[in-house]
Amino acid sequence: MSLVSALYVGLFYFATVFLVVGLVLRIKTYAQTPAPLKIPTMPAPRTETGVALRMFREVAFFESLFRSNKWIWLFGILFHFGMLLVLLRHLRYFTEPVWFWVNWVQPFGKYAAFAMLAGLLGLWARRFLVARIRYISTPSDHLMLALLVGIAMSGIGMSFLVHTDIISVKAFFLGMLHFSPQSLPTDPLLLVHLGLVATLMIIFPISKLLHAPGVFFSPTRNQTDSSREQRHIADWAKELEAGER
Amino acid sequence: MADFDVPELKEYLEVPEPRENVTNHLAPFTAKPDHQTDLGFPAELVDNWKEVAIDKMGDLLGKYRSLRVFLDTCVHCGACTDKCHYYLGTTDANNMPVARQELLRKVYRRYFTFAGKYFPKLVGATDLTEEVLDDWYSYFHQCSQCRRCSVFCPYGIDTAEISMAAREIMDEVGKGQKYCNEIIAKVYKIGNNLGLPQPALADTLEGLEEDIEDETGVKVRLPLDEKGADILLITPSADFFAEPHVDGLMGYAKVFHEAGVSWTLSSEASEAANFGMFIGSYDNMRKLALRIRKAALDLGVKRIIFGECGHAWRVAYSFLNTLAGPFDFLDQKYPIPQHICEFTYDLLNENKLRMNKAENDHMTLTFHDSCNVARGAGMGGFEGGQFVIPRAVIKASCNNYYDMDDDTIHDATFCCGGGGGLLTDDLMEIRVKGAMPRMQALKQVTEEHGVTNLAAICAICKSQFAKTLPYFGFSMDQIVSVHQLVSNAIVLKGSEQEAELDGTADENGEAETA
Ligand code: SF4
Ligand code: SF4
């Protein structure tokens, strides 16, 4: 195996472990931190089912964002749903045999990359063109968009311009999955693409990309409006009470 | 009238370009040493304030999931940037909700995150310095914790939670705000925000009874500290003396009278407001809430009803059970606690109140949804009840009603500009500027529908509008209580008004009271 292949094997194992462990730890922190008061943004659903529906609308349709800003919503939807289709399509590099529905997604997934790119460019343009958003942008916001744009463009390049040896790429990833590493084709576009993806995986659990798990833990969105019916008290608050009454 | 520029009311609300440090100088007076120590905070800025602040932040991060998640998840999308009335009114960049959060977040990143520890410049992380602390003091007191931003954020990030945490950290290092802390201490010592002692209260209530009798010919009671009454009414102390609040109080009294229920106020808990929420202090919020529990137990009541006060209702509806519950000693047939609007609404639905809407014909009304009710609390036990019920009560009391623009009512309502502990003269400039978006919407319905008056169910909104309306060419008496409208329209049994309506009054127009 070439040095490059060995490096990428190492990189992807590291990135995967970092991503998974990082996310698990973060989610654990969120889950274990008490929410001492009921603070749903009203009007809030009065039942658990209602909360699940509210969360679903938030995650699937970006409901609140739609209310606030149609441009951000449009670019956000293009990017996220483009990326979702692209990711689903990529499952074919990790499964053997390929699940039937992944084959269905395949043709859409290929073109979804353009939607993803368009969304990203739209979001990035706002960071330059709208003074308010320019003001709140940090270097890392730009870098993250650059990273994602790089991933999308190198991917599109491989799908439509300079095809890479897909069969070997799949062998490489299946090899990694079975802990028997194979070599990776070494065309530059692929190496750039994979390098950026691994970088993204590594920054995921230590950056604002935590919004992905975070949204599910947002008390303003995931709490029921039942504070008059049920007492809602955190353990640390119970301690305040002990011995007082 | 003012030594600052009053924002001009345009036809439509315009989103300004952000400018830096326009309102940085607008900081409230700091708490005096005894205001601080009364609440268990250090008297003045402690020497090792940086460490204390970082420790406190760590403590809060472990106690509040909201803070932890909100500090992590913001993606700087900017959807909230044009949603805050203080930003719209001042154009100060730090009044964009995300920028306000960032004042705390950049310190959080620096001390609590990997990226901020090792790549501070990249992610916008900074050390906690005196300058940062001063920015916190200014801008976290330019947030009325109205939560409008949380409605529009894709993750529900609630800047109010962040402001509360920041204020708690500042109190903890000895940099408290005078207005809030002084008031909380007053409640502990005397029982209410205004420092009205029991005899003054009794006196006022007696005066109001006389006023009602003069006006209606009916003896309507406003009882204080009456053991064994069914209902304990908890209301903001502004209701005891300020205009238009006091007209609302007379309204509640008339409603209770017509319903034939026994009720009482308590001099021990003569304050519905809970400023503990504004300073983010669970301890103080809880102590304030426990007074209400104690008053209910001492008086042996069966129900608790809250008067018109926005954040009091949020604390009551959302937190009272948690802070001071369980309320198993009360009658479980009724919501605990109940809002006066719910009470009146039920009576109206049961046709138990006779209303003469024509009494309010000199007004054309609109309703200002108060933030803490609209976005922080419910009413009526159904989703959105807090929007429906007050409007139903108003419409039952008057003939002319129009809503303001859809984008400015219900959960998208604009803050009055004086909530969250900002209702103090030293912050007049920010209050006036923050009122602009609401005033703009009011102007619109004034021009389109001839609206003359704005009704509200929050003591802070009422006081704030009474002060700020004149800055925008309106007059201070254009703000009215919802129960003031009820009070005007309600036809008490055996009253002069009833006699007049039924044509049984004698020549002098005097009612034949039985
Ligand atoms: S809570 Fe209200 S005042 Fe505070 S930042 Fe959000 S919109 Fe502005
Ligand atoms: S809307 Fe929410 S995620 Fe977007 S910038 Fe504002 S606080 Fe951050």
ipTM: 0.95
Residue A26 and residue A205: Cα distance in Å, rounded? 7
The C-alpha atoms of residue B438 and residue B430 are separated, in whole angstroms, by 14
Domain endpoint, select from B141, B176, B211: B176
Domain for residue B18, yes or no?
no
CATH code assigned at B71: 1.10.1060
Domain assignment present for A68: yes
pLDDT of residue B190: 84
B288/B357 same-domain check: yes
Which residue shows structure tokens 């309010």? B360
| CA–CA gap between residue A151 and residue A173 (Å, rounded) | 18
- Name the band, by pLDDT with cuts 50, 70 and 90, for residue A244: low
B506 belongs to a structural domain: no
**Whether residues B165 and B227 fall in one domain:** no
Q: Which domain holds residue B144?
A: 33-176
Predicted confidence at residue B331, as pLDDT, reads: 97
In B, minimum Cα distance to A75 occurs at B77
Domains: count for chain A: 1
Residue numbers of chain B with a pLDDT score lower than 50: 509-514
Q: How far is the CA of B73 from the centre of ligand 2 (A)?
A: 8
For the cut 70, the answer to whether the pLDDT of residue A187 exceeds it is yes
pLDDT at B241: 87
Question: Do B342 and B229 have their domain in common?
Answer: yes
**A42, A65, A231: residue with CB nearest B322:** A231
- Choose the closest CB to A64 out of B18, B119, B153: B153
Q: Between A143, A203, A220, which is nearest B150 by CB?
A: A220
Mutating which of A32, A33, A41 best tests the B interface, going by the most B Cβ atoms within 10 A?
A41
pLDDT score, position B512: 45
Q: Is residue A139 part of a domain?
A: yes
Residues B255 and B347 in one domain: yes
Q: What distance in Å separates residue B173's CA from the closest CA in chain A?
A: 22
Distance B98 CA to ligand 2 centre (A): 6
Of A34, A231, A237, the CB nearest to B65: A34
Q: Which of B125, B143, B176 is the last residue of a domain?
A: B176
Q: Any chain B CB within 8 A of the CB of A62?
A: yes
When pLDDT is averaged across residues A219-236 and rounded to a whole number, the result is 95
Structure tokens at A102: 């992944």
* Among B96, B15, B151, B82, residue whose Cα is nearest residue A66: B151
Q: Which of B71, B84, B157, B162 to mutate to test the pocket of ligand 2 (most atoms within 8 A of CB)?
A: B157
pLDDT computed for residue B1 by the predictor: 57
pLDDT tens per residue across span A81-105: 999 999 999 999 999 999 999 999 9
Q: Which domain holds residue A176?
A: 3-20+42-224
Between strands B453-456 and B479-481, the pairing is parallel
Q: What is the pLDDT confidence band of residue A243, given thresholds at 50, 70 and 90? A: low
Q: pLDDT at position B514, please?
A: 40
Please name the amino acid found at residue A2: S
- CB contact residues (below 8 A), chain A span 153-192, against chain B: none
0.90 exceeded by pTM = yes
The token pair at B454 is: 């704005």
A136 touches chain B (CB under 8 A): yes
Within-domain flag for A25: no
Domain count, chain B: 2
Question: Is A100 inside any structural domain?
Answer: yes
CATH number for the domain spanning A94: value is 1.20.950.20
Pair (B456, B344) in one structural domain: yes
* Residues A193 and A225 sit within 8 Å (Cβ to Cβ): no
Answer yes or no: is B442 within a domain: no
Residue B506 is predicted with a pLDDT of 58
Residue pairs spanning A and B at CB distance below 8 A: 211
- Of all protein residues, whose CA lies closest to atom 8 belonging to ligand 2? B74
Residue numbers in A near B15 (CB within 8 A): 132
Question: How many angstroms separate the alpha carbon of residue B74 from the centre of ligand 2?
Answer: 5
Instruction: Return the structure tokens found at B468.
Output: 């700020």
Question: Does A243 reside within a domain?
Answer: no
Note whether residue A16 is domain-resident. Answer: yes
* B224 and B364 inside one domain: yes
Same domain? B302 vs B364: yes
DSSP of chain A, one letter per residue? --HHHHHHHHHHHHHHHHHHHHHHHHHHHHHHS---S--PPSS--SSHHHHHHHHHHHHHH-HHHHHH-HHHHHHHHHHHHHHHHHHHHHGGGT-SSPPHHHHHHHHHHHHHHHHHHHHHHHHHHHHHH-HHHHHH--HHHHHHHHHHHHHHHHHHHHHHTS---HHHHHHHHHHHHTT--------HHHHHHHHHHHHHHHHGGGSGGGHHHHGGG-HHHH--S-TTTS----HHHHHHHTTT-
Rounded CA separation B425/A197 (Å): 55
C-alpha distance from B64 to closest chain A C-alpha (Å): 5
Residue A110 CA, ligand 1 centroid: distance in Å: 42
Give the number of the atom of ligand 2 that is nearest the alpha carbon of residue B76.
5
Residue pair B90/B427 in contact by the 8 Å Cβ criterion:
no
